[in-house]
Structure 1
Amino acid sequence: MSLVAVGACYVDTILTTPHYPGEDEKLRASSISRRRGGNCPNSLEVLQQLTAHGRSMTGLSLDLVAVLPAKSSIASQQIQSAFEPRVQLSHCIYREKFEEPASSYIFKSQSTDSRTIVNYNELPEMTIEEFKRIADELGPKATWFHFEGRIPDVTLACIHYLRQRFPLVRVSVEAEKPARPGLQELAMEADVVFYSKSWTQGQGYLSAKECLEKQSSIVRKASLLFCTWGQDGAVALDMETGNLIHSPAYLIADSKVVDTIGAGDTFIAGMLYGLNCQQESWDLSQKLSFANRVAGMKVTQEGFSGLDGALELNP
């Protein structure tokens, strides 16, 4: 079995500031950190921990498909060393004329406990022809493709190619950015859809439950729908049975929110683990609870290390 995640890989620079700077204001940051980012890479970083965890070790292999700068660049070498050998980067697309990776500059305000993100990316996006070549190379060993939903027109063509060439493969997509057109069309072609709170609110839905109930009449091909809602937890809809399940947010006693960056990606990792590695062992409610647990653990710490500890408790 192989799970393939398709999305952008960023290098994040995170500045923690007392408040957001005003125009032409000089402000001193209280801390700075740098790490590899991007929705799919974040999810894979968590998945590699879960799939390699002691008695929970699985035979699921993990592949990243992302556009990276020149293979010899410092950024690409750092990304490779962070992932391999547990996450394979052999199917990434290297742009040999570029040295700089896609980058995010994240400002975290201590006064509001919120964040503002500025992205920079000069790397040409993946084309459908490049994806077809990669999909053919992976062949039938790839049992699941997860798409960030980054470039919807190309992603939609990728899904159509998979349906034609490898009809048994499962496809999941994210609907995250509210201003990005084409995500609804992606959801209509997927087996599993992950809706973010921001996308849901951007569509005018007032709750996760309302989103899934109304989306269920639109995304007829899907078998499972998920919507996260921050401190209110997450909701899942089994399209085959019509069962709507709510799982409250996982709260750790005497802990506080430290870092929400990548919380949604961590939830997706927990759910992909449940769907691929615990298909028969856990029911949907247990899978949803586990995904919430991993995400809840993540927000109480900087970064993604040690999240396989969620497996120490029964889902």
Structure 2
Amino acid sequence: MQKLFRLQSKGSSATSSQTSFSGSSSGEGSSTSTTHASHVSTATYNGNSNPSPKIGIFLVGATYLDTIMHVNSFPHEDMKQRSERFEQRRGGNAANTAEILGQDPRAKVWYMSSMPAPAAAKILLTALERNNVKTEACVFHSAQLTAPQAYIISAKDTGSRTVISHSTLPDLTLEEFIKRFDAARMRAVPDIVDMSCPFNWIHFEGRGPDVYKMINYVESIYIKQRWRQKLTISVEFEKGDRPGIPYLLKQADVCFFSKLYAQTLGFDRPEDFLASIKEFCKPTATLFCCWGAMGAVGLHLETGTRFSSSAGTVDRVVDPVGAGDTFIAGIILALGVRGYDIGRGLQFACELASQKCAQYGFSHLLKSIPPDL
């Protein structure tokens, strides 16, 4: 059994419909008011308070040192062009998500990643630790003296982000994961809402076969301890060409799909993509597909309820790098920490991702969102 989320309440402005999906088509029907009990703590959320105990969140992913060149338009091949702005900051999808989650006082966030030698990793860990993210679960490789690199060209006129990455770091192994995860869950208990259950939400980047084994291990522990109904396992599906990805679809309680993933499989509408991919997912899963400036769509498989939300409005887009990672953080915060229903959670995540595009980096991002949204 998995944690269940409330579908929608009267206060949500995201649209929902009870929909029967088949193939790549979707038919609209009557709205639903079905609700499911939430296992999220019932303590009242207050953006200005620092309540305790907290919701335990654990994230696993790859970490990069991003070098970002902001340009007015993408350069033509074999030409020179001046950058309007240059910056270097820690990157990596789950790492970006963790930094945002750590800004919520009700979340206790842990992050695990393969890292270079401690001296080279310092620049990668600083922003995370400054935002209350625990990094003790990271695995350091003393022979790796440089951080993984990602070079990003962010074009202002189209909003495109072109990424070239390089890493010689080995991916996390199952053995490393088990050792560090077990140690982390022992340390996490003292100030967690449910002291018997260290993490209520565990998120993975969908990077390959070893992630499948890691999730199997987590489930074996949580089932043995009778914690499984208190846990949400989410997986990000960014690239469709990674080995072992199809196996992860059946494991995730929450699936996050990128626009790139859907387009790689030949879809140009998120609704059609979710209608097709749902057959390969866990029957009780909740699916989300973020579509950039067009907003995002969600699908609750158990009831067939589809949700959609437009993107938030900002005066000027200055830095869209990490907007998708911000969307994921928004959903985890909304459903896993604040106890929002799915409709309101989707709206919150879209607004948060839009606000990310209006600022450079992730610092103090949650403060840009009204506490009652």
Q: Is residue 62 of structure 1 aligned with residue 114 of structure 2?
A: no
- Mapping of residues 5-84 of structure 1, within 5 Å: 5-49=59-103, 51-52=104-105, 58=106, 60-71=107-118, 73=119, 75-84=120-129
SS in 2 for 1:303: coil
Shift of the alpha carbon at 1:145? 1.2
RMSD of the alignment, in Å?
A: 1.8
1:33-73 alpha-carbon deviations (Å, 9 max, x no partner): 11111001111111112x12xxxxx1x310010111112x1
Instruction: Tell me the SS of whatever aligns to 1:141.
Output: coil
Using the TM superposition, give the Cα deviation of residue 229 of structure 1 relative to its aligned residue in structure 2, in angstroms: 1.1
The one-letter code of the counterpart of 2:112 is V
Identity of aligned residues (%): 35
Distance of 1:130 and 1:38 partners within structure 2: 19
Q: Does 1:148 align with 2:205?
A: yes
For 1:70-149, what aligned pairs fall within 5 Å after superposition? 70-71=117-118, 73=119, 75-84=120-129, 86-139=132-185, 140-149=197-206
1:265 CA displacement: 0.3
- Quick one: which amino acid aligns to residue 275 of structure 1? L
Q: Is the 8 A contact 1:259 1:299 kept in 2?
A: yes
Q: What is the rounded CA distance, in whole Å, between the counterparts of 1:110 and 1:232 in structure 2?
A: 17
Task: Determine if contact 1:259/1:300 at 8 Å carries over to the other structure.
Answer: yes
Report if aligned partners of 1:293, 1:310 keep a CA contact under 8 Å in 2: no
Q: How far apart are the structure 2 equivalents of 1:38 and 1:88?
A: 16
Aligned partner of residue 217 in structure 1, secondary structure: helix
- Residues 113, 308 of structure 1: alpha-carbon distance in 2 compared, 3 angstrom cutoff: closer
Does 2:300 match 1:238? yes
Say which of 354, 358, 364 aligns to 1:296.
354
How many Å separate the matches in 1 of 2:175 and 2:123? 27
Kindly tell me: are residues 111 and 80 of structure 1, through their superposed partners in 2, closer, same or farther at Cα, counting changes over 3 Å? closer
Match of 2:367 among 304, 309, 312: 309
Q: Partner amino acid for 1:166?
A: Y
Q: How much has 1:81 moved relative to structure 2?
A: 2.6
The 8 Å contact of residues 247 and 289 in structure 1, kept in 2 or not, is answered as yes
Mapped to 1, the partners of 2:292 and 2:78 lie a distance apart of 33
1:157 maps to: 213
Shift of 1:198: 1.0
Q: What is the CA-CA distance between 1:153 and the residue it aligns to?
A: 0.7
For this pair of structures, how many residues does the alignment match?
301
Unpaired stretches in structure 1, ≥5 consecutive residues: 53-57
Counterpart amino acid of 2:178?
Answer: K
Local SS of the residue matching 2:200: strand
Q: Where does residue 333 of structure 2 map in the other structure?
A: 273
Decide which moves more: 115-124 or 215-224: 215-224
Amino acid at match of 1:307: L
CA distance in structure 1 between the aligned counterparts of 2:143 and 2:99, rounded to whole angstroms: 27
Change over 3 Å in CA distance of 1:293–1:22 after alignment to 2: closer
* Structure-1-length-normalised TM-score: 0.89
Q: Which amino acid aligns with 1:35?
A: R
Deviation at residue 144 of structure 1 after TM alignment: 1.8
SS at match of 2:137: coil
**Structure 1 moving runs of 4+ over 6 Å:** none
- How much does 1:245 deviate? 0.8
Identify which range, 188-197 or 220-229, moves more after superposition.
220-229
Query: What displacement does 1:120 show?
Result: 1.1
Deviation at 1:18, TM superposition (A): 4.7
Structure 1 Cα separation of the partners of residues 63 and 204 of structure 2? 13
Cα shift at 1:179 = 2.9
- The correspondence for 1:3, drawn from 50, 57, 64, is 57
Q: Who is 1:200 aligned against?
A: 262
1:260 matched to 2:317? The reply is: no
In the alignment, residue 129 of structure 2 is paired with which amino acid? E
Partner of 1:216: 278
Q: 1:25 to 1:182 in 2, by over 3 A?
A: same
Asked whether the 8 Å contact 2:252–2:282 carries over to 1, the reply is: no
Stretches of structure 2 that go unaligned for 5 or more consecutive residues are 1-54, 186-196
C-alpha contact 2:287 2:298 (8 A) present in aligned 1: yes
TM-score using structure 2 length: 0.76
Moved more, 85-94 or 220-229: 220-229
Instruction: Kindly state the Cα deviation for residue 110 of structure 1 after the two structures are TM-superposed.
Output: 4.2
Q: Distance in 1 between matches of 2:218 and 2:203?
A: 12
3-state SS, counterpart of residue 142 of structure 1? coil
Q: Note the alpha carbon deviations across 1:89-135, whole angstroms, 9 max, x for none.
A: 00000001111111101122345442321101111111111111122
Secondary structure at the counterpart of residue 235 of structure 1: strand
